[in-house]
Amino acid sequence: MRAWPPTAGFAPRRADWRFLFEHPAHPIALGLGSGLWPWGPGTAGTLLGWALFALLDEWLDDWQWALVLLLAFAIGWWACTRCAQALRQSDPAAIVWDEVLGIWLVLWLVMPTDWRGQLAAVALFRVFDIAKPGPVAWADRVFKAPVGTAIGARQGLGILLDDLVAALCALLVIALWRLA
């Protein structure tokens, strides 16, 4: 299956406020615009995810959270794929839905905890996402398309995968810390 739009021969595009509203996938993938933050869009997306988690957690039980995470993954896969295609890049920094999804998973599994515990979970998730040690680096590179080739669903999945692995690594450290 050929990916659309074709990316071969086209220069990468930069996300901006106009781009945010060009397609319904863009506000999702760009984290309602938090991915446009010029200094650390991934951190801005993570902070948006934390704020949305705090709002939603008041009304959602564990089963509802599980459903939200599954739907957010499916919708995010579509949105990240479409946005990456429009930007003609395998994993643009402006796409932050992966950070939102990753921090939701971490916070859902560490709750209940106070704001300090949440802050530690957010910081640990960001460390794994930024430093990309071991399995996170593998997940980051396994689905990337070479520059100038078409971007498809495989790259959309790759955008999400490295942050989900970073979330799992953060959760592993938290679990080991709680056992100690």
Residue 21: is its pLDDT beyond 70?
A: yes
Ramachandran sector of residue 152 (left: φ over 0; alpha: ψ -120 to 50; beta: rest): beta
Q: What pLDDT score was predicted for residue 4?
A: 53
Which helix or strand (DSSP H or E) is residue 133 part of? none
For the entire predicted model, the pTM comes to 0.92
* CA atoms within 13 A of residue 116's CA, in its CB half-sphere: 0
Q: Cα separation of 60 and 154, whole Å?
A: 31
Q: Cα separation of 13 and 55, whole Å?
A: 33
For 74-123, the pLDDT digits (tens) are: 999 999 999 999 999 999 999 999 999 999 999 999 999 999 999 999 99
pLDDT bin (cut points 50, 70, 90) of residue 1 is very low
Closest CA to 49 of 167, 172, 161: 167
Q: Domains of the chain: which residue ranges?
A: 40-179
* CA atoms within 13 A of residue 47's CA, in its CB half-sphere: 9
Residue 126 burial (C-beta neighbours within 10 Å; 0-12, 13-18, 19+): buried
The two three-digit tokens of residue 121, written as one number: 């979970």
Residue 146 burial (C-beta neighbours within 10 Å; 0-12, 13-18, 19+): exposed
The two three-digit tokens of residue 173, written as one number: 């450290």
* CA atoms within 13 A of residue 80's CA, in its CB half-sphere: 31
For 118-164, the pLDDT digits (tens) are: 999 999 999 999 999 999 999 988 888 887 788 999 999 999 999 99
CB neighbour list of residue 163: distance below 8 Å, 6 or more residues apart = 98, 99, 101, 102, 129
